[in-house]
Chain A
């Protein structure tokens, strides 16, 4: 079975500080990994995805994530936090199931940005 674990349900950073949201995966096959962001009372928006190409993936809004097979990690980073980054972030893994890809989400990390 494939799954993702997000360490830390809440992360607080100061505006302008580095953002680091952690995600570890377990997978018996090369995984497809995603980061999504959710603003209050809204659906999810894709930040970035890893599909076995480059290990360092750049996404929208200045976010990036690095796939590290040796550490089974796919941590999300942003060099300088902005107030508008305050949201909930979900790491997800995609796996084949019954002829299609089923996406499993982590438990989410709520990011708070302090002015």
Chain B
């Protein structure tokens, strides 16, 4: 089955530093990837849609200068949390949909998430 690899699984950083999270589709190509944020005991909130070769589309209320997204290839998207603060501590999850005919409504494949703690 389709596998999405997300790295790192856990990261602790100091306030003011930047953290990069990688999301890779291992056995399929994904023109579009999605980044979610999940607060404790809450659902997933879509932050942005990452498009290969073009700018990401951010959801309302998400600071694009703080959460930098780069989708450099059909198998890799990165999320960089810049100048991180304690309130950025959260669980970040990426997902991807396989590029193939008829995949318009196919389910998303999720990474295992990254637990970010900013001290």
Show the binding face of A for B, using Cβ within 8 Å.
9, 32, 34, 36, 41-46, 49, 51, 90, 94, 98, 100-108
Query: Are B49 and A49 in contact, CB atoms less than 8 angstroms apart?
Result: no
A-B pairs with lowest CB-CB distance, top 10 = A43-B110, A44-B110, A32-B105, A43-B112, A46-B107, A107-B43, A105-B43, A105-B44, A42-B112, A43-B113
Question: Residue B34 contacts which of A36, A49, A103 (CB distance < 8 angstroms)?
Answer: A103
Query: Are A107 and B108 in contact, CB atoms less than 8 angstroms apart?
Result: no
Find the B residue at minimum CB distance from A34. Answer: B107
Majority secondary structure, A binding face: strand
Q: What distance in Å separates the Cβ of B106 from its nearest Cβ neighbour in chain A?
A: 8
Contacts of B110 in A (CB 8 A): 36, 43-45
Are A44 and B93 CB-contacts (below 8 A) given A49-B107, A100-B32?
yes
Query: Are A101 and B57 in contact, CB atoms less than 8 angstroms apart?
Result: no
Contacts of B104 in A (CB 8 A): 100-101
Contacts of A32 in B (CB 8 A): 105
Over the window 1-18 of chain B, the binary record of Cβ atoms lying under 8 Å from chain A Cβ atoms (1 yes, 0 no) is 000101001000000000
Q: Does B46 contact A (CB under 8 A)?
A: yes
Residues facing A in B73-101 (CB within 8 A) are 91, 93, 95, 97
Q: Does B115 contact A (CB under 8 A)?
A: yes
Contacts of B43 in A (CB 8 A): 90, 105-108
Q: What distance in Å separates the Cβ of A43 from its nearest Cβ neighbour in chain B?
A: 4
